[in-house]
Amino acid sequence: MQKLVETRIEIDEKVTAGEKLPETMILYNMDADHLVITAKPLKTLEKSALTKTSVKVVSQQNKHVVMLPTKIFNFYHLDENDYTIMASDKDPTTIIIAV
């Protein structure tokens, strides 16, 4: 029997400085340790990212839930590893996840 894996990450609203996130965002896989989620395409990330995909975002009470593709969730072992979620000071809708 295959283990069901929750492929979502919860981000506290404080991380994004209370900014409302769009329902669809762009996920860039930068390397084996970093993911970047943005509201709009960024040229610098477009050139250097390993992959790019769209992700769905749901806003709930004081948090944002980002639905990640299962392959990416499993690749980074997010159910097993510790990770840090940060947001850019200049653009709080740009979220960095460091594994």
Query: What digits encode the pLDDT tens for the residues 54-96?
Result: 999 999 989 999 999 999 999 999 989 999 999 988 999 999 9
Whose tokens are 């806003």? That residue is 59
CA–CA distance, 50 with 31 (Å, rounded to integer): 7
What span, in angstroms and rounded, lies between the C-alpha atoms of 4 and 90?
A: 37
CA–CA separation, 34 and 30 (whole Å): 5
Question: Where are the chain's structural domains?
Answer: 8-98
Strand, coil or helix: 50:
coil
Q: pLDDT tens digits for 16-44?
A: 998 999 999 999 999 999 999 999 999 99
Q: Determine the distance from the C-alpha atom of residue 64 to the mean position of all C-alpha atoms in its chain, rounded to a whole number.
A: 10
* Rounded-to-integer distance, Cα 65 and Cα 81, Å: 18
pLDDT at 79: 86
Q: Distance (Å, rounded) from C-alpha 27 to C-alpha 41? A: 10
Q: What is the DSSP letter of 65?
A: E
